[in-house]
Structure 1
């Protein structure tokens, strides 16, 4: 594993990131007692040596978030209560200083080791940088390095999150005002979705790899019968290039809107294919998806009922949805808002969300609130 943060960023950028991570580590060590602190681990693109490099007139700059796992002995919920405020203040302080978002996830080594293999745990264990604690801190989690163990509902979750980005991008494209920041947001979410479509196919087939470059090679060397191979490869290639070398949008709103629609159209084909394999039912169109039963069969019904009670109150147990995981409501809403916006049944969405919505924009705003909790 490379000890660089980026593939080809300047030495000045590499040094800046190195110094920033060590400064963050020193601050964390002041917050968490040494007898409780297990490790501070950088994950994400920079942790894997494939962080984005933004070219500017002032030189190379970081682009992606710096994502850290903060491993503390004990229960995460208790540690969140004890250290969360100080850690959140550190996030804000370092975000302002470095110019990119700094994020911490409080957990424990034992929690990762005992948990289900996910795309996130796979990427974490396969590629990371340790800034506090022993280098082999994740030795007990090596079972997460087998991509074949990534369950299909994780692939659906990846697509849900990236297609949600397309939905939020569409909201920006339809707004009356459209700034450079909006254009950058739209382009970034289009590129993320382009990358995710190929990644989803690889993960579904047990061929996912932590390196986006390796995933690109894997797509090139294997055919895909359900859609044009060249189209999937082209979109994935553009996604990889943006991940490694992001840029500001120079396209007009009309050009971005055209590209957005092309990606949305292909995304339905990929999403429907993955869901057909996961749920063992075919979906000729989005309308069929809405009426085809439980979308989260891997979840526990009793836990679902408690989650709905906490999220929606007693109303969450109405309409025959008491035992359904709230992410199902997101999947239903995403499908109709993104792929059938002219046919939205707002009564259906209101029932799903236990919240009255009456138009597309209001529905997207409420969708984002729920997505922030269950993505």
Structure 2
């Protein structure tokens, strides 16, 4: 891993991020006894050395969240109950001082070793910065190092989340007055989608990589890459490394979102046709298909979720994300009007099953 948090951030920013990590370490060690604490790793962009640098008023400032994995011996469920609240309080206290969100996820090394391959765990194992511990802790996690093993449902999940961002951005564009905060929210979600579309195509071909710069190089070198997709991905990489607050007009944002949404639609249909082994020529085909859209989720888990939580919109044998996928396709591409009420309902469920 890079010794830096960013590619070209100022030394002042680098020192600020290093100091935040030091405060995180001391805070975690106060909460969790060393006999139970196995390790502490910074993941995300800053953990990979590709963190965002926001340049304003002549200064470099942090932009992304700082995502820390706290590896604790024993049951993750029990450890969540023991330490989650205290770690959340620590994160809130440090976030204010750091000028960015500090977040924690509790996990055990044993659970990571036995977990199936996912994009999330691949990124963690391949791109991280140790605050406590070292790479010897990832012994037994070799299956997470092979990006060709990332299943297609992981690409669907990434596209689902980024297209949900487009849906939320579209709702902001419907506001009577477009505020600076709205424009920034929309621009950020457009950039995330631009990056994700290329990442999804790479995952489909087994060429995904933890580094956004390497992913873009792989897109560039492939002769079949669509020039429009490549242009969007370049913009997404540029925003990830050097984010900025959007100053575009409503009309400019509408035009950009429309073009991006159309490209996302085409990639979504291509991906889901392949993943589910069904022919999808139009969004309505996806909505009307009775095929299980989340076959990777075991039946027992679906039934458990429905028994535990009343009012789930999908059938008892189906994972709730299937309902969200249908709603997304319907509102974003199939012509159904997305009202403020329907967006709120969607967002509430999306926050639980994204």
Question: Please, what TM-score do these two structures have when normalized by structure 2?
Answer: 0.97
Pairing of 1:184-263 with structure 2 (within 5 A): 184-224=184-224, 229-263=226-260
Q: Deviations over 1:324-356 (max 9, x none)?
A: 00110111111111112x435xxxxxxxxxxxx
Distance 1:55 1:298 in 2: 42
Correspondence for 2:262: 265
Distance 2:157 2:218 in 1: 22
Structure 1: 5+ residue stretches without partners:
345-358
Pairing of 1:205-354 with structure 2 (within 5 A): 205-224=205-224, 229-292=226-289, 293-311=291-309, 313=310, 315-316=311-312, 321-340=315-334, 342-343=335-336
Pairing of 1:1-375 with structure 2 (within 5 A): 1-224=1-224, 229-292=226-289, 293-311=291-309, 313=310, 315-316=311-312, 321-340=315-334, 342-343=335-336, 360-375=339-354
- Structure 1 residue 309, shift from structure 2 partner: 2.1
Structure 2: 5+ residue stretches without partners:
none
Distance 1:134 1:156 in 2: 32
SS in 2 for 1:137: helix
Paired residues of 1:337 and 1:360 also in contact (CA < 8 A):
no
Paired residues of 1:195 and 1:238 also in contact (CA < 8 A):
yes
Q: Deviations over 1:240-262 (max 9, x none)?
A: 00000101111112111111111
- Structure 1 residue 283, shift from structure 2 partner: 1.4
Correspondence for 1:353: none
Q: Deviations over 1:260-317 (max 9, x none)?
A: 1111111001111111110011211111101112101122112111112223x2x54x
Displacement over 3 Å in runs of 4+? none
Distance 2:54 2:134 in 1: 32
Q: Deviations over 1:34-91 (max 9, x none)?
A: 1110111100000000000010115100100000111111111111111111111011
Paired residues of 1:5 and 1:14 also in contact (CA < 8 A):
yes
Paired residues of 1:41 and 1:129 also in contact (CA < 8 A):
yes
SS in 1 for 2:140: helix
Distance 1:169 1:122 in 2: 29
Distance 2:76 2:183 in 1: 38
SS in 2 for 1:90: helix
Paired residues of 1:44 and 1:66 also in contact (CA < 8 A):
yes
Distance 1:182 1:93 in 2: 27
- Structure 1 residue 178, shift from structure 2 partner: 1.9
